[in-house]
Amino acid sequence: MPGNRWTKSQIESLVGQIVHLSKPLPEIDIPGKTRAAINNQRKRLQRAGVLNGSFAGRAVKPWTFPELKRLTAFTQDYGFSASFIAQMGLLPGRTKDSIGKMMGRHGLGNPTIKERARHAQRFDARRREEFQRFLLAEGRLLPSMLVSRQWGLAQKTVTAYRRRLGIRLSWREARSSDEFRRQQRKRSAAFVAHTRERWRRWREGKKLLWGKLRQELVQRPDCPPARVCQACGEQWYAAREFFHVRTRRSPAGVKIGYCRTCRLCRAELRRRSAAASCAMAARG
Ligand SMILES: [Zn+2]
């Protein structure tokens, strides 16, 4: 409804979604307001200083080299699409649009999908009828993704046709399709890649910190005795920062001592065994 005044609660909701939830434009939802109206109101609020700098307008954050490297891996090694990368938060702070543009600039992405998008066109009346007949007959149970590929349409368009014809695939039908399973595998691969990446960054940061700590300790008169990790072979120090303290109870009393593996290796081992038991639970 263009021209409708914004109510107080609508504005409050908009501010909340921008400031507290840091939502990008496509994700902001105000019932009864179009995306253009939301965008305009957002600009007005920004100029009025209501948004506390949460939304800076068209501030361009340059892409870093590591980001581009990861984008290349996500698209070429995993075959992820821009919307998928954005949805999974694989490149924090990058929207679907900016990821898509970057992919375009560097020739990344799936060539068939790009080709299809380029040739996407509206059907003429005859072709439309033909398509509807197909959907009602042999294409009835075909996953929308496959239909879209076969007919050179966007998947959204296929779904819209199905809805209008009243033959939407049931949840069960869609789920049982190979396409659904393929998407699910893709999703879990992304999740694994994401966690692995976060884990790697955490570990690198920790190791850097420990290196500094080691240099500081060595110069101190009260430097604790050196202690070598049994797993990675690095020489750290017998201190809580590097080694987990274990308490063992025995009939002879309580024994307190440092673990044989450093905290980094201990965390790694625990993570691996958790992943292994997860996989076992999934299989069994
Ligand atoms: Zn270690």
pLDDT digits (tens, 9 = 90+) for 80-137: 888 888 887 888 888 888 898 888 888 887 666 666 666 655 678 888 899 999 999 8
Single out the residue of 51, 54, 60 nearest to residue 22, CA to CA: 54
Name the residue with tokens 């398509």.
Answer: 131
Residue 176: what residue type?
S
Q: Give distance in angstroms: CA of 81 to centre of ligand 1.
A: 37
Q: Give distance in angstroms: CA of 164 to centre of ligand 1.
A: 61
Looking at per-residue confidence, does 49 or 228 come out higher? 228
Q: Give distance in angstroms: CA of 234 to centre of ligand 1.
A: 6
Q: Give distance in angstroms: CA of 92 to centre of ligand 1.
A: 30
* Cβ < 5 A residues, ion ligand 1: 229, 231-232, 262, 265
User: What was the pLDDT predicted at 234?
Assistant: 92
Single out the residue of 48, 46, 50, 28 nearest to residue 38, CA to CA: 28
Mean pLDDT of the 258-271 span: 91
Q: Classify strands 243-250 and 253-262 as parallel, antiparallel or unpaired.
A: antiparallel
Using CB atoms within 10 A of its CB, is residue 181 exposed (0-12), middle (13-18) or buried (19+)?
exposed
| pTM (predicted TM-score) | 0.39
Q: How far is CA 185 from CA 67, 88, 149, 190, in A?
A: 24, 14, 20, 9
